[in-house]
Amino acid sequence: MKYISTRGQAPELTFEEAMLTGLARDGGLYLPAEIPVMSQDEIAALAGLPYEEIAFRVMWPYVSGSFAEEEFKAIIARAYEGFGHDARAPLKQLNENHFLLELFHGPTLAFKDFAMQLIGQLFQVALKRRGDRVTIVGATSGDTGSAAIEAFRGLDAVDVFILFPHGRVSEVQRRQMTTPADSNVHALAVDGDFDDCQAALKDMFNDFDFRDGVKLAGVNSINFARVLAQIVYYFSAAVSLGAPHRKVSFTVPTGNFGDIFAGYLAKRMGLPIDRLVVATNQNDILHRCLSGEGYFKGETIPSISPSMDIQVSSNFERALYYAYGEDGSAVAQLMDELKNGGFNVSQGAMEALRESFDSGRMSEDETLETIKHTLAHSAELVCPHTAIGVKVGEDHRAADTPMITLATAHPAKFPAAVEKASGEHPPLPSRMSDLYERSERVTRIANELGTLEDHIRRHIAE
Ligand SMILES: *Cc1c(COP(=O)(O)O)cnc(C)c1O
């Protein structure tokens, strides 16, 4: 499989090259040159298989050529062995046909572990084979950073630097990033918000001297390998509810559009998904856009669902690429307009987006109310991100189609909001109950490209 850029001006790469690079050199995002399709029989045969076997069958067409079959199977096995649930992504029933897909049984209690644990193993195998090393820099609103640190800590071919917005992540998220003692792990608290961190990261990738000098690699959700790992649980969940013989819909608490874009690819691969519902908090650029108001940046307002506090949703570029009929130059032009505040989506592209996507937005009060309601009516304590999905999903649920809402984080990752809403304190799973006693290691740093690049250059291992 070859990989192409959404902006059409970067060289085609193999899966391994696209994974190690992250962002394309024309500023675009990598996508497979063709989306592989699974037959209805192949999808039906997934029912009842272990998660790892489903993962292999769904991802293999994307990676073959870069990894050997047995090698890739072993990578998948190592990626998910540290999860606290044998099903990896279990389904729970909320009411007659609304289900929660629990994606928080990995080492850092959020869905990002699914992709990051896989990427850690993929990088290790690929870099070992090449005798090479890389510097991974990631920007996080909280969960990506902890998942990346957990996936790459202690690997000798990799240094990891994580930029997070100072004071804007939960204490559990911060501690998961600042307490690992491994010397290849560097947590940077940036004076700014998540969009500032993400912009600084993009600028580093576009500074080719720096990029080549430190062998920069990205593991943000712009990395296609992340999206790929997330396609798998759409299949595992849908087949356990009767796909391909029955359609299902998904609601996804959305920030950077990576998770829901994986659902779009699952649909294009042949999985009978009826609707893909984007659920946002008050930072609602995606909901406004899908409601026909254009894609215009606002100001990021901190919320109780901080992992969705963003205004520029980087993976949306991938959806736009398909909505604009795979026209890279049209996408490049939109992204230029975005630098000046935003753009209107053409009528044809809006129609294409609406074929797959719906959207909804929740206020802070509605989010708290949903946490309380879900505990009272379904006996489930949900995190604030998941609560947004649950309410938006309920609003979009059709009687004859099961709705599956992605439970993106464990409630104990956001204890303050959960306790405020429900009166219950969500305990951490016992395997990480000493998190509050471990000592922290973090550098506070200005939101300034030169300062950040200097710091990284001085702290990578020789
Ligand atoms: C990252 C994250 C999201 C948003 O996912 P995207 O792929 O960025 O849309 C939602 N909920 C939680 C808990 C997250 O960590």
Residue having the nearest C-alpha atom to atom 15 of ligand 1:
143
Band the pLDDT of 112: cuts 50, 70, 90.
very high
Q: Which of 29, 108, 140, 143 to mutate to test the pocket of ligand 1 (most atoms within 8 A of CB)?
A: 143
Q: Domain segments of the chain: what residues?
A: 91-106+224-422
Which atom of ligand 1 is the closest one to the Cα of 257? 9
Which atom of ligand 1 is the closest one to the Cα of 258? 7
Q: If we measure between CA atoms, which residue out of 284, 256, 258, 240 comes closest to residue 90?
A: 240
Question: What residues does ligand 1 touch, defined as CB less than 6 Å away?
Answer: 110, 112, 143, 221, 253-259, 307-308, 385, 408-409
Q: Residue 255 C-alpha to ligand 1 middle, in angstroms?
A: 5
Among this protein's residues, is 391 annotated catalytic?
A: no
Q: Which of 197, 256, 283, 285 to mutate to test the pocket of ligand 1 (most atoms within 8 A of CB)?
A: 256
Q: Which of 100, 101, 108, 111 to mutate to test the pocket of ligand 1 (most atoms within 8 A of CB)?
A: 111
Which atom of ligand 1 is the closest one to the Cα of 385? 11
The catalytic position among 2, 73, 92, 112 is 112
Q: Residue 357 C-alpha to ligand 1 middle, in angstroms?
A: 17
| pLDDT tens digits along 235-246 | 999 999 999 999
**Residue 310 confidence (pLDDT):** 86
Q: Give the span between the Cα atoms of 309 and 283, in whole angstroms.
A: 6
Q: Give the global pTM.
A: 0.94
Q: Which helix (H) or strand (E) holds 200?
A: helix 194-206
CB 58 within 8 A of CB 231: yes
The burial class, CB within 10 Å (0-12 / 13-18 / 19+), for 41 is exposed
Q: Residue 53 C-alpha to ligand 1 middle, in angstroms?
A: 25
Q: Residue 77 C-alpha to ligand 1 middle, in angstroms?
A: 24
Which atom of ligand 1 is the closest one to the Cα of 310? 8
Mean pLDDT for the stretch of residues 47-67:
97
Q: Could you tell me what percent of the chain has a pLDDT over 70?
A: 100
| pLDDT tens digits along 69-84 | 999 999 999 999 999 9
Going from the C-alpha of 348 to that of each of 75, 315, 325, 345, 413, the distances in angstroms are 41, 20, 9, 8, 41
Query: Of 3.40.1390.10, 3.40.50.1100, 3.50.50.60, 3.40.50.300, which CATH number belongs to 91-106+224-422?
Result: 3.40.50.1100
CA torsion 362-364-366-372 (nearest 10°) is 130
Q: Residue 349 C-alpha to ligand 1 middle, in angstroms?
A: 25
| pLDDT tens digits along 411-445 | 999 999 999 999 999 999 988 888 999 999 999 99
**Residue 311 confidence (pLDDT):** 84
Which atom of ligand 1 is the closest one to the Cα of 112? 15
| pLDDT tens digits along 151-192 | 999 888 899 999 999 999 889 999 999 999 999 999 999 999
Q: Which of 172, 286, 408 to mutate to test the pocket of ligand 1 (most atoms within 8 A of CB)?
A: 408
Q: Which of 150, 223, 254, 283 to mutate to test the pocket of ligand 1 (most atoms within 8 A of CB)?
A: 254
Q: Residue 88 C-alpha to ligand 1 middle, in angstroms?
A: 18
Q: Could you tell me what percent of the chain has a pLDDT over 90?
A: 89
Q: Residue 27 C-alpha to ligand 1 middle, in angstroms?
A: 22
Mean pLDDT for the stretch of residues 281-297:
97
Q: Give the span between the Cα atoms of 238 and 96, in whole angstroms.
A: 16
| pLDDT tens digits along 352-407 | 999 999 999 999 999 999 999 999 999 999 999 999 999 999 999 999 999 999 99
**Residue 23 confidence (pLDDT):** 80
**Residue 343 confidence (pLDDT):** 98
Going from the C-alpha of 237 to that of each of 266, 316, 404, the distances in angstroms are 12, 24, 8
Which atom of ligand 1 is the closest one to the Cα of 221? 7
In the predicted model, is pLDDT for residue 290 greater than 80? yes
Q: Residue 8 C-alpha to ligand 1 middle, in angstroms?
A: 27
Mean pLDDT for the stretch of residues 48-60:
98
Residue having the nearest C-alpha atom to atom 14 of ligand 1:
307
In the predicted model, is pLDDT for residue 462 greater than 80? no
Residue having the nearest C-alpha atom to atom 2 of ligand 1:
307
Q: Residue 416 C-alpha to ligand 1 middle, in angstroms?
A: 18
In the predicted model, is pLDDT for residue 461 greater than 90? no
Q: Please provide the average confidence, as pLDDT, over all residues in the chain.
A: 95
Tokens in use for 333?
């032009």
Q: If we measure between CA atoms, which residue out of 261, 254, 324 comes closest to residue 287?
A: 254
**Residue 433 confidence (pLDDT):** 85
Q: Which helix (H) or strand (E) holds 4?
A: strand 3-5
CB 262 within 8 A of CB 224: no
